[in-house]
Structure 1
Amino acid sequence: MSRNRATLIGFSAVALWALLALFTVGSAPVPPLQLNAICFAIGGVIGLIWVAATDGFAVLGRISRKVYAFGTVGLFGYHLLYFTALRLAPPAEASLIAYLWPLFIVLFSGLLPGERLRPLHILGALIAFAGAALIVARGGVSASASALPGYGLAFLCALTWSGYSLISRRLGAVPTAAVAVYCLATAALSTLAHLALEDTLWPATATGWASVLALGIGPVGLAFYTWDVGVKRGDIQLLGTASYAAPLLSTLALVGAGVAAASSSLILAAAMIAAGAFLAAMASKSR
């Protein structure tokens, strides 16, 4: 598989994550960890079907338990930290801090074998982050000392996902089929966390059930498989910068569905994110 094709496949994960907020709104009143458990179970089953139809289950037995533990910690740890951060701190600020992960991917990618971090990569990532900040914090921010634990967890959240993505690059020889086990293990741990921390609530309408199913198939399912392909074989610096399109596309999806209102900041954010991705693409092209 060519580097460009793998990068495009990685982009599809960003596009799917853009639908996360819309489908999450539709899945109400299901609590976060319960939703996590259901969706990752769906994503894991999809992966097992794909494995059975391609390489067969024998490929899963050749993968180290340490790799499975790493992948499970990455997926489950990120979501647990994210949900907890949003409970302990204002959502806008916590989300913005958590969305440092694409910037961390770009900055730390220079430590990977065969990768070279250029000034345009850094500049592009910073401009794209500023554009994403316009979207995430559009309702205003207000720092609070009582929210410091939440801010800290959000920062750990960003480190967790960027670390997962970068280490996945180092594990390039591990087949993407491993993600199916990551998903199933994450579903199991999410179920335990849900039973300990949340009350069980189910969707009340057909739309709610459809939203849960769509989440499990797309943003919390296929997206993790295509992201795995992208970070292992594609242009990880360009993928990191382009990931800032997710909050923009997510907001546009909410606007299109009538859940959110359009604003002039969307245009500016779109221009900044596009400019950041363009700079990163130019830096990658200069290789």
Structure 2
Amino acid sequence: MTNADLLALGAILMWASLAALGVSLAHVPPFLLTGLGLLVGSALALPLSRFRLRAWALPWRTLALGVYGLFGFHLLLFIALRTAPALQTNLINYLWPLGMVVLAPLLLPGLRWRAGQLGAALLGFAGAAVVILGRSGASLAGGWHAGYGLALGSALVWSSYSLLTRRVPAFPTSAVGSFAAVSGLLALACHALWEPAVSLSARDLLLIAALGLGPLGGAFFLWDAALKAGDPRRIGLLAFLTPLLSTAVVLVVTGQALTASLALGAVMIVGAAFWGSRAAG
């Protein structure tokens, strides 16, 4: 296992806690929650940059790419969840690891498609589908919703952002704090425009701080470091662990029993990661 794998797994483990924290903060409007979480997360850049604020200064195109990724992803996903069934929306959104594998040769010079990696990515997505569908016992029956297109857009935004960070001039991982800060302010603007005002308890603030230090903060820094150090196709395959671990954490926190669908999905996703790593040589 490479250093990039470990960094990516660190981000994935943090993202796995997002659903459990979201259950505890379900009463907080999503844009408010995201905005505050991203602003807390952006503060992690201070020690990373040795408290030198000039390390946050970036060319405008690099900053635009970061805001496109962090804010664009959440904006499209939240609107999709408001306009389409959550189960199908969540499943479509988890096309983003597959998107990383498929788009990598198109967006990054020097990479090419390998049949084994594409097959592994499809197997990984199938495993994610088993986990997500099995969690609710629901099916994908139902008609088309415009929100599905937005969910697909959110998946494409995150996969393309993850790849395109290697096409802009090199920037330190601490500069991700700039992406998070601007995206957090934009999310709070969306809250002011579209969501009702709410009051937050001390417990809410503590959980939001945990959200910012973990899945809406630290995870983005680890993800950026992983992408700088490793093969994005391999990292994309590892990302299928996110819905698996997230579902497992929710079941443990809520005291529910682990299910056969979770076990099957685990076998498929781990198998996909192993297959993909072997296909990469």
Structure-2 separation of matches of 1:204 and 1:57? 31
- Return the offset for 1:50: 2.2
Distance 2:132 2:243 in 1: 7
Aligned equivalent of 2:176, options 169, 174, 179: 179
Q: Which amino acid aligns with 1:120?
A: G
Deviation, structure 1 residue 103: 0.2
The CA distance in 2 between the partners of 1:172 and 1:276, in whole Å, is 32
Q: Does 1:198 align with 2:195?
A: yes
In the alignment, structure 1 residue 120 sits paired with structure 2 residue 116:
yes
Map 1:1-287 → 2, pairs under 5 A: 4-53=2-51, 56-61=52-57, 63-111=58-106, 112-138=108-134, 139=136, 140-145=138-143, 147-171=144-168, 173-204=170-201, 206=203, 208-258=204-254, 260-284=256-280, 286=281
Instruction: From the superposition, tell whether residues 205 and 174 of structure 1 become closer, same or farther in structure 2 (CA, over 3 Å).
Output: closer
Q: Which segment drifts farther, 265-274 or 226-235? A: 226-235
Q: Which string of whole-angstrom CA distances, capped at 9 and with x for unpartnered residues, describes residues 36-95 of structure 1?
A: 111000011121332134xx333333x201111111121101001111111111111001
SS at match of 2:206: helix
Q: TM-score, normalised by structure 2?
A: 0.93
Question: Cα–Cα, structure 1 residues 117 and 172, in superposed 2: closer, same or farther, change >3 Å?
Answer: farther
C-alpha separation between the residues in 1 aligned to 2:78 and 2:257? 25
TM-score for both structures, normalised by structure 1: 0.92
Per-residue deviation, residues 219-274 of structure 1 (Å, max 9, x unmatched): 00010011111112212111101111111101111111125442111110000001
RMSD: 1.7
Cα separation, 1, equivalents of 2:211 and 2:169: 27
- 2:197 is paired with a residue of what secondary structure? coil
Indicate how the Cα distance of structure 1 residues 185 and 260 shifts in structure 2: closer, same or farther if over 3 A, else same.
Answer: farther
Structure 2 Cα separation of the partners of residues 7 and 168 of structure 1: 18
Is the Cα–Cα contact under 8 Å of residues 8 and 238 in structure 2 kept in the other structure? no
Contact 1:10-1:234 within 8 A present in 2 as well: no
Task: Determine if contact 1:169/1:233 at 8 Å carries over to the other structure.
Answer: no
Q: CA deviation at 1:205?
A: 6.0
Mark the runs of 5 or more structure 1 residues left unpaired by the alignment.
none
* CA–CA separation in structure 2 for the residues paired with 1:271 and 1:222: 28
Structure 2 stretches lacking a partner, 5+ long: none
Q: Report % sequence identity.
A: 37
| SS in structure 2 at match of 1:219 | coil
Contact 2:13/2:242, CA 8 A, preserved across alignment: yes
